[in-house]
Amino acid sequence: MTPPAESHALRGARRLPAWLLGLGPLVLVTLLVAALFALDLPGLDRRGVPQEVMAVERTVLRPGVIELHLRNDGADPVRIAQVAVNDAYIPTAQVDPPEVGRLDGAVARIPYDWIEGEAYEVTLVTATGATVGAEIEAAVETPARDAGFFGLMALLGLYVGIIPVTLGMLWLPFVRRVRPALIRLFMAATVGLLAFLAVDALLEGVETGGTGAQAFGGAGLVLLGALVAYVALSAVDAAVSRRGGASQGMRLATLVAIGIGLHNLGEGLAIGSAYAVGELALGAFLVVGFALHNTTEGLAIVAPVAGGSPRLGQLLALGAVAGAPAVLGAWIGGVAFTPPLAALLLGVGVGAIVQVAVQLLPTLRDPDSGRVMTPLTAGGLTAGVAVMYLTSLMIAG
C-alpha cells in the first residue's frame, strides 16, 4: 500500500507540466556540477606537464606570406613562441591570438618570400618546447574567393556531377528493352556500383579524418555521419511509402539519386579543397576520367524505373538530385574545408549509399528459386564493382 506522503507527492507531480518534469533532472545535475566546481574539490584541477596538441587545418599562400590556420586539439592552452620555415627562424611571424584555448582556432601569418613549386616545411614551437609541423609539398598561390572562383567551382561541379550523371541516364531506353533477367543483372550491377562508392568514401573519410583535429572525433566522424544519414534516409523512405503515389521503381530511383548525390557532395568537397590549395590540375584527361566514372551512376538511377514510364521532368529532377551536390561540395571545399567537416560529409555519403543498397537487394531475388544471390546477380555485382574500379583509375592521383 502506498504511504500517504508518497501518494501526495505523486499526485502533485501529475499536476506539473510534462516539459517541467523532463527538465527537472537536467537542472539538478547542472546544479550538482556547478557545486563541485564552486567547492574546488581536490582532483578537479589539471596537474603535471601541459598536453599541447595543435592541428594545422588549412594552409593559405599569398605573395610573400604563408598563412596557417590552426586548431588546439589538446586539453591545455597552447602559446606559440617561435616560427621557423625550413629551419630558419622568422622573428616577424605573428600568431593571432598568441595563446589558443582548447578547441579554439588561431591564424599564424608568416612573412616569407616563397617560390612557386618549391617545397617548404613550417615548424611552430610552443612555449614548452613542443613542435607543430606543416609540410608544403609544392608552393602555389591560393586562389582568391571571388565571383570567378565560385563560377569555376560551379563549372567543375557541372562537369563532374550533373552532366555525366544525366548522360548515364540515357541508357534508360536500352535497359527498358532487355529481358527481365537482364534487368536483375543491371540491378545487381547497380548494387555493385553503390558498394564500390561506399567503400571508396569510407576509406577516404577515415584518411581525411585522421589528418585534422582529433578532439572533434577524427575518423569516428565518418561512422557518425554514416549512422545519421542511414537513419534519416530510412525515415524519408518510410514517409514516402506511407504517403503512396509514387511507384516502387520511382521510389527506389529517388533513393538511389539521393544516395549518389550525397556521395557526389563529398566528391565535390575534395575537388574544391584541392583547387583552393593549388593541388588540382584539371586537365582534359581528368575531365574524361570523371565523366566516365560518374556516367555509370546514371545507369544506377534509371535501372529501377526500367519497367515504368517516368516523365522527362522526373528524370531531369533525379539527375539534378544526384549531380548538383557536386557543385555545393566544391563551394564548401573551396571556402570552408576542414578535415572534420570532410570526414562527416563523406560519412553521410557512406550511410546514404548503404541504405539505398539495402533497399535494392530485394529486387535481385530470382522469381523461380527465391534466392537473391544467383550466378546472374553475382556476375552483376562483380561487373558493377569492376566498372567503378576501372573508371576510378582515370581520376586517381
pLDDT tens-digit readout, 149-187 = 889 888 888 888 888 899 889 989 888 888 888 888 888
The pTM (predicted TM-score) of the whole model is 0.78
Q: What is the pLDDT of residue 315?
A: 92
pLDDT band at 319 (very low <50, low <70, confident <90, very high): very high
DSSP category for residue 221: H
80: phi then psi, degrees, rounded to nearest 5: -85, 120
C-alpha span between 259 and 191 (Å, rounded): 12
Angle made by CA atoms 39, 40, 41, in degrees to the nearest 5: 90
Q: What is the pLDDT of residue 84?
A: 95
No. of H helices and E strands in the chain? 13, 9
Q: Tens digits of per-residue pLDDT, 297-318?
A: 888 899 888 878 888 899 999 9
C-alpha span between 370 and 367 (Å, rounded): 5
100: phi then psi, degrees, rounded to nearest 5: -110, 120
Residue 12 grid coordinates? 502533485
**% of the chain beyond a pLDDT of 70:** 88
pLDDT band at 320 (very low <50, low <70, confident <90, very high): very high
pLDDT higher than threshold 80 for residue 47:
no
pLDDT higher than threshold 90 for residue 115:
yes
Q: What is the pLDDT of residue 336?
A: 79
Output helix, strand, coil percentages for the chain, rounded to the nearest 5: 60, 15, 25
pLDDT band at 246 (very low <50, low <70, confident <90, very high): low
94-96, strands of its sheet edge to edge: 54-62, 65-72, 105-111, 94-96
Asked if residue 190 lies in contact with residue 48, where contact means CB atoms within 8 angstroms, the answer is: no
Mean pLDDT of 261-288: 71
C-alpha span between 396 and 343 (Å, rounded): 19
C-alpha span between 72 and 76 (Å, rounded): 8
Least confident of 54-63, 174-183, 188-197, 268-277: 268-277
pLDDT higher than threshold 80 for residue 14:
no
Which is more confident, 11 or 306? 306
